Amino acid sequence: MSDQSNAPLPAEIRTIGVIGAGQMGSGIAHVCALAGYQVVLQDLGQEQLDKAVDGIDRNLDRQAKRGKISDDDHKSALKRISTSVELSGFGDCELVIEAATENEEVKRSIFQKLCPVLRPEALVCTNTSSISVTRLASVTDRPSRFMGMHFMNPVPVMQLVELIRGIATDEKTFAAIRELTVKLGKQPVAAEDFPAFIVNRILLPMINEAVYTLYEGVGSVEAIDTAMKLGANHPMGPLELADFIGLDTCLAVMHVLHDGLADTKYRPCPLLVKYVEAGWVGRKAGRGFYDYSGDTPVPTR
């Protein structure tokens, strides 16, 4: 792969590509389109893309009904989003943000296929919540214009974006992405490229400890979540939050922490592993630490 690191930065970011039309990718496309950028949203199947655009439409409508945006903002933002089932749709993008599943091999494969279709000056970001940005950058032809841009879920609501430099990230790349983050109406925070960065380095061990507390019989699901909401003033209990994030994602981050820092305090709880093996991965599966099949979530333990 030829090295594009010395190409000039794009004069202006106008078109942003987003890889992955799941919860995170859809949210990123939503905020980028609302901020006035043309967006190309890519996924492997048109059905997933149509579902994502419908979801963005509903979320924009919700914002308009609450008076956060105008009806014109809603319509204009939706018109700025186009979809593609091929990576070749990113040929005109000044920036591409990858928001595929939290699996390093999947991400590396995407970047290897993506780089040949990009302009030499295009910037690339990953929305990884835990994987080494330096390692991901190393499979691209532009490590100096590659960095982490970790949005929080749900993207349209959460204000924070963690910005992570890889070892080769150029300062001009970092400055351009920081400026873009502010234009999206988000608050950037710089994090070093260590496993799980800032938020998940602190949050996921807390969730894992809550699962251990359940596993060891210290308290029930309801007791643990109520205790943390009322005793620590958390808006959501840790097990409810785990279901919201996805237990598969929680487990993946714990594996990254355990492997990357080689410390037994990051060992994933066996009960978390068991739930993921059962396919009980939270809200998206209809079942996790709570069962979501009825009108009100019911604890499964």
CA separation for the pair 209, 9 (Å, rounded): 44
Contact 254, 268 (CB under 8 A): yes
Q: Residues, the chain, total?
A: 301
Instruction: For the beta carbon of residue 286, count every other beta carbon within 10 angstroms.
Output: 13
CA separation for the pair 118, 100 (Å, rounded): 18
Name which of 149, 138, 148, 157 is nearest 63 in CA terms: 157
Which residue(s) pair with 101 in the sheet? none
Contacts of 168 (CB under 8 A, 6+ apart): 5, 134, 137, 143, 144, 146
Residue 37's Cβ-count burial label (10 Å; 0-12, 13-18, 19+) is buried
Would you say the C-alpha torsion 240, 244, 245, 249 has a positive or negative sign?
positive
How far are the Cα atoms of 195, 201, 299 from residue 256, in angstroms, in the given order? 6, 10, 28
Positions marked active-site: 129, 150, 162, 200
For residue 141, what are its two tokens?
């032809």
Helix H or strand E encompassing 158: none
For residue 112, what are its two tokens?
């290897």
